[in-house]
Amino acid sequence: MRFAKLAGFCSLLLWSAASLSQVHAQNTAPDGLAGKAPEGMVYIPGGPFIMGTDEEDHNTDHTIRAYSDANPRHNVNVAAFYMDKLEVTNVQYKQFCDATHYPPPPHWLTGTYPDGEGNLPVYNVDWWEASAYAAWAGKRLPTEAEWEKAARGTDGRTYPWGEDWDNSRTVADAKKPEPVGSHPTGASPYGVLDMAGNVMEWVSDWYAAYPGALHTFPEFGTTHKVVRGGGFNHGEALYRTYYRCVARPQTRSDWIGFRCAKSA
């Protein structure tokens, strides 16, 4: 079984130094776009990065699949894009609902978010609704590769901030989400916040094997979308930049929100 994908959630829904320095140079070469990021977005330069992991976790009977679907570690070239610095908030999603007459998340019992929670990330939004919001905002959901590059940069780091786990840098093992951007020390190499913890995030991709993968799982195909980033109440393993979770696109969960991307 999987690392209890989301502690059981997903089971229910379900890289020589020379090379690296060359990659870094390509990824940081100015191309005139970095200073033109739309408001609230961060420029992510184009170029290759390290995606996935060679790690496989076989510690217990429920962790056999924790990282196997993120194998193997491989190079991916991503075109330059912009990424929301923060997760979409309740205030922003309410503006979308008001403008489009989309129904609000089901836990907004009075048709709006609870008092004092305007700057919390929106959740209980399915993949279709997240995609609709992104289109309304003139954006789109990030691809899985874009999401991972924005989270880990080009050095293949384990967490957005580096190699060592530090729960003070994120919203982890908590009872509820926190206002977006509450942990600036958890920023990714590009300054994107909340890429580990707070809420997991929908990406555009269907769940599929990586090139050269040695493992096949029944959810591969066009029934499950990929969800990234770990939620507010999960453990350390789920906050790794390469960790993949899955859910059916119609899934709504207290753990799942989203952010948007835009091609540069």
pLDDT tens digits for range 143-185 = 999 999 999 999 999 999 999 999 999 998 889 999 999 999 9
- On whether the CB atoms of residues 122 and 106 are closer than 8 A, the answer is no
Distance from C-alpha of 90 to C-alpha of 130, rounded to nearest angstrom: 12
Distance from C-alpha of 81 to C-alpha of 33, rounded to nearest angstrom: 9
What's the longest Cα–Cα distance across the chain?
A: 58
- On whether the CB atoms of residues 23 and 49 are closer than 8 A, the answer is yes
| Cα–Cα distance list, 201 to 50, 180, 196, 240 (Å) | 20, 13, 10, 13
What confidence tens digit (pLDDT) does each residue in 32-87 have?
Answer: 666 789 999 999 999 999 999 998 755 444 344 578 899 999 999 999 999 999 99
> Could you tell me the fold of the domain covering 4-263?
paralog of FGE (formylglycine-generating enzyme) (3.90.1580)
- Read off the pTM: 0.87
What confidence tens digit (pLDDT) does each residue in 110-148 have?
Answer: 999 999 999 999 999 999 999 999 999 999 999 999 999
The SS3 of residue 238 is helix
- On whether the CB atoms of residues 75 and 49 are closer than 8 A, the answer is yes
The chain-wide mean pLDDT, for the chain, equals: 88
| Residue 3 confidence (pLDDT) above 80 | no
Distance from C-alpha of 29 to C-alpha of 228, rounded to nearest angstrom: 28
